[in-house]
């Protein structure tokens, strides 16, 4: 039953069919399918296939935009469910999140924000096409624990390094942990640019953020003793 639903979800993304994507998300919730399972097993594989077809010239920009709309329609239904549990808890930490300058891909970054909120983090989402200085000024204003920078293009990945440099310039580098992600980003790239962590998907981003908060509080204890 779920397999059929997941493959219909995948197809709704490939077809750029927002109404179908949204209806399937509602059915899935009614049938007790966990929202994250629907995202990871249904909609995201559809997006990956869209990317492949685009890369091979079998799909064009308007198709990719329609697919993105369909994905957004599904997430509009699923995100409130994902968020439900985070709100009642004390804050696990403050995260400033955004997609780097020159890059307007937002779906993955928004999902990371949603799951971090669902797990008790206070998330400030700066949106897309965000310059390094804006990450730094918001991190200072909110006394952020973590800054998360998304990049989906090989040409905008280098701007993740720019964000790290801006935080250093603002004198915040030792207080703020920086995490990076996005389809072309790897652990190796994260190490190369001096980020504190990399996560391949939204759930791993939560685990990473928790681990960094743990390390941060251990560091604080060490400083005190």
- The residues of the shown chain that bind ligand B12, judged by CB under 6 A, are 44, 47-48, 50-51, 54-55, 61, 64-65, 68, 102-109, 111-112, 148-150, 152-154, 179-184, 199, 201-202, 205
- What's the min distance (Å) between Cβ of 100 and ligand B12? 10
Nearer to ligand B12 by Cβ, of 8 and 185: the residue is 185
Nearer to ligand B12 by Cβ, of 33 and 112: the residue is 112
CB 18 within 8 A of CB 69: yes
- What's the min distance (Å) between Cβ of 222 and ligand B12? 26
- What's the min distance (Å) between Cβ of 223 and ligand B12? 26
Nearer to ligand B12 by Cβ, of 9 and 221: the residue is 9
- What's the min distance (Å) between Cβ of 218 and ligand B12? 21
Concatenated DSSP letters of the chain: -HHHHHHHHHHHHHTT-HHHHHHHHHHHHHTT--HHHHIIIIIHHHHHHHHHHHHTTSS-HHHHHHHHHHHHHHHHHHHHHHHTTGGGSPP-EEEEEEEBTT----HHHHHHHHHHHHTTEEEEE--SSB-HHHHHHHHHHHT-SEEEEE--STTTTHHHHHHHHHHHHTT-TTT-EEEEESTT--HHHHHHHT-SEE-SSHHHHHHHHHHHHHHHHHHHHHHH-
Nearer to ligand B12 by Cβ, of 44 and 225: the residue is 44
Nearer to ligand B12 by Cβ, of 8 and 78: the residue is 78
- What's the min distance (Å) between Cβ of 225 and ligand B12? 31
- Spatial distance between the Cα atoms of 179 and 107, rounded to a whole number of angstroms: 17
Nearer to ligand B12 by Cβ, of 202 and 223: the residue is 202
- What's the min distance (Å) between Cβ of 95 and ligand B12? 9
């Amino acid at each position: 039953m779920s397999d059929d639903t997941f493959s219909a979800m995948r197809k709704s993304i490939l077809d750029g069919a927002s109404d179908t994507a949204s209806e399937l998300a509602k059915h899935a919730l009614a049938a007790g399918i966990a929202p994250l399972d629907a995202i990871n097993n249904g909609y995201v594989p559809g997006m990956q296939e869209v990317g492949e077809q685009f890369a091979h010239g079998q799909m064009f920009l308007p198709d990719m935009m329609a697919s993105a709309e369909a994905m957004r329609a599904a997430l509009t239904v699923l995100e409130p469910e994902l968020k439900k549990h985070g709100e009642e808890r004390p804050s696990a930490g403050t995260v400033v999140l955004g997609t780097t300058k020159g890059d307007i891909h937002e779906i993955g970054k928004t999902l990371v924000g949603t799951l971090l909120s669902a797990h008790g983090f206070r998330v400030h989402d700066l949106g897309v096409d965000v310059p390094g200085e804006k990450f730094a000024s918001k991190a200072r204003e909110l006394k952020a624990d973590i800054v998360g920078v998304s990049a989906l293009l090989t040409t905008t990945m280098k701007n993740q390094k720019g964000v790290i440099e801006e935080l250093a310039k603002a004198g915040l580098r030792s207080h703020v942990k920086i995490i990076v992600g996005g389809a072309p980003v790897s652990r190796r790239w994260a190490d190369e640019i001096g980020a504190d962590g990399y996560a391949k998907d939204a759930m791993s981003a939560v685990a990473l953020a928790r681990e960094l908060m743990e390390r941060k509080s251990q560091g604080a204890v060490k400083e005190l003793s």
